[in-house]
């Protein structure tokens, strides 16, 4: 395992050393054995106790940072600027280098205790919240979304009071693996403080570490800021396109929830679509539907513009306005490409854009379930499930006629697998809210984890059929949590 301390190279004003909570118990619930193997962590994670020491007690790694770091940031929350933010129930525990890609990876936590940014909160995470984040990361990873990975979950033996779920409720601490821990809000804080020197340092760090631009430290700061903004714009466009294709609603697209690497993370009130409804809203507290399914591209672009604001000390406003246009240049083609990947259709087909538009319009005209429709039509002309399956009558409706005609003619993607065993099933894997609650119910009632274990296995089968990720499938839930 190649441990790193890259973040400590940044000015210490960007973080606070903190101590983890002293939990009354640490019960290992989930471990990501596939990623542990890829990172060559076998020597430090040999036993269950090793996992508990590292990810329940946060014992430092040899040659790693001595203490966890709570990172400083600001952010716009539902459009309102908030300078009173930062890692309030999490921290950067450690960093390492991926031996396969050479990229830096962060171990970040959720529910690990209070920090200087906790305000009046307890710094804890509910066990249900941890299970929900595990499900979100596994499902999105399987569908080809650039997402953080859930690395470990431990139940911590505390009883928490929450207003949005039955209380008292069980507690947990989660460790996620991600390509970076710097947010748009990290840059906003430095602009707010008028600390342009550290802002320049952070621009170069992000360009070098997250985008592996080798000469980032030597180019003029204006050039570095320009290149970073373009790269972030492209990655954010790809990210939101993949959300739309997955039928996913993140729920809280505040600027402190956008990772500068363009990787999706921090899953709270997320939901997956049932039917195609642009106004579908995930967060019960999003009263204006600011972050509903259909507004996610707009919300993402708004966040990108707030990042561009941070570069005013280095570039003119007029030039920044042109640079953020890169987002829209990329978004249109990425939406088509992502939808085609979900449908197993060649996105280079000259009718691909028309097919995607007709498919989405057709879904809005009827009551077809989104996941089922993507499943039934997977492979385009290479598969006839939509015409022979139990939902065929839905696809015969006049409002879906154009989409059906195009899909029957659509050439399958070269790397699609419409003959995979997964696609021979009657129904697809889905994580709509009723399914998530059904997975949680036996855990809450009887400490029965079999539904979650079965769901993870089904998601992994789906991931193998889609073959959209080039990274390892995660480990399974322990069959018998200890």
**Tokens, residue 54:** 């590292």
80 three-class SS:
strand
Question: What CA dihedral angle connects 268, 274, 275 and 279, to 10 degrees?
Answer: -20
d(CA 376, CA 404) in angstroms, rounded, equals: 11
d(CA 266, CA 257) in angstroms, rounded, equals: 7
CA 368 distance to own-chain centroid:
26
DSSP strand pairing (69-71 vs 15-17): antiparallel
Task: For residue 143, give Cα distances in angstroms to 225, 343, 465.
Answer: 32, 11, 10
Please report where in the chains the tokens 């809000």 appear, as a residue. Answer: 185
Of the listed 87, 106, 141, 256, which one is catalytic?
Answer: 256
107 three-class SS:
strand
Three-state SS annotation for 201-235: HHHHHHHHHCCCCCCCCCCCHHHHHHHHHHHHHHH
d(CA 416, CA 422) in angstroms, rounded, equals: 12
Q: Is 426 a catalytic residue?
A: no
CA 278 distance to own-chain centroid:
20
CB 54 within 8 A of CB 107: no
Centre a 10 Å sphere on the Cβ of residue 116 and count the other Cβ atoms it contains: 12
The DSSP-derived string for 145-201 is --B-EEEEEEEEEEEE--TTS-SSEEEEEEEEEES---BHHHHHHHHHTT-HHHHHH
Point out the residues that are catalytic.
256
């Amino acid at each position: 395992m190649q441990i790193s301390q890259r973040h400590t190279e940044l000015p210490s004003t960007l973080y606070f050393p903190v101590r983890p909570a002293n939990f009354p118990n640490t019960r290992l619930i989930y471990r990501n054995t596939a990623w542990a193997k890829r990172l060559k962590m076998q020597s430090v994670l040999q036993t269950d106790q090793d996992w508990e020491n590292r990810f329940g007690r946060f014992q430092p790694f040899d040659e790693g940072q001595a203490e966890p770091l709570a990172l400083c940031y600001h952010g716009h929350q539902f459009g309102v600027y908030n300078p009173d933010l930062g890692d309030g129930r999490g921290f950067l525990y450690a960093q390492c280098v991926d031996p396969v890609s050479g990229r830096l990876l962060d171990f970040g936590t959720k529910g690990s205790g209070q920090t200087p940014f906790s305000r009046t909160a307890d710094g804890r995470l509910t066990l249900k919240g941890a299970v929900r984040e595990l499900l979100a990361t596994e499902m999105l990873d399987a569908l080809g979304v650039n997402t953080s990975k859930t690395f470990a979950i431990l139940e911590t033996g505390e009883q928490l009071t929450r207003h949005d779920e039955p209380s008292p409720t069980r507690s947990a601490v989660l460790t996620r693996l991600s390509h970076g821990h710097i947010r748009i809000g990290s840059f906003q804080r430095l602009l707010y403080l008028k600390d342009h020197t550290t802002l320049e340092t952070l621009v170069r760090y992000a360009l070098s570490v997250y985008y592996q631009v080798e000469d980032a430290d030597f180019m003029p700061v204006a050039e570095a800021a320009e290149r970073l903004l373009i790269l972030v714009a492209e990655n954010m466009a790809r990210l939101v396109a993949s959300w739309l294709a997955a039928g996913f609603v993140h729920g809280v697209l505040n600027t402190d929830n956008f990772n500068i690497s363009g990787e999706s993370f921090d899953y709270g009130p997320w939901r997956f679509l049932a039917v195609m409804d642009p106004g579908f809203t995930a967060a019960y507290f999003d009263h204006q539907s600011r972050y509903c399914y259909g507004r996610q591209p707009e919300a993402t672009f708004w966040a990108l513009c707030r990042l561009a604001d941070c570069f005013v000390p280095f570039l003119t406003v007029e030039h920044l306005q042109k640079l953020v246009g890169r987002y829209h240049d990329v978004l249109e083609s990425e939406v088509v490409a992502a939808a085609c990947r979900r449908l197993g259709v060649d996105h280079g087909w000259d009718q691909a854009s028309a097919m995607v538009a007709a498919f989405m319009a057709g879904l809005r005209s009827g009551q077809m379930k989104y996941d089922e429709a993507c499943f039934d039509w997977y492979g385009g002309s290479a598969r006839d499930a939509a015409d022979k399956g139990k939902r065929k009558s839905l696809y015969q409706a006049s409002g879906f006629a154009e989409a059906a005609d195009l899909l029957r003619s659509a050439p399958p993607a070269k790397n699609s697998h419409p003959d995979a065993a997964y696609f021979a099933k009657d129904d697809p894997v889905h994580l709509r809210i009723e399914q998530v609650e059904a997975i949680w119910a036996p855990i809450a009632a009887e400490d029965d984890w079999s539904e979650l274990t079965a769901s993870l296995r089904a998601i992994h089968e789906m991931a193998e059929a889609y073959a959209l990720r080039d990274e390892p499938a995660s480990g399974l839930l322990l069959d018998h949590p200890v």
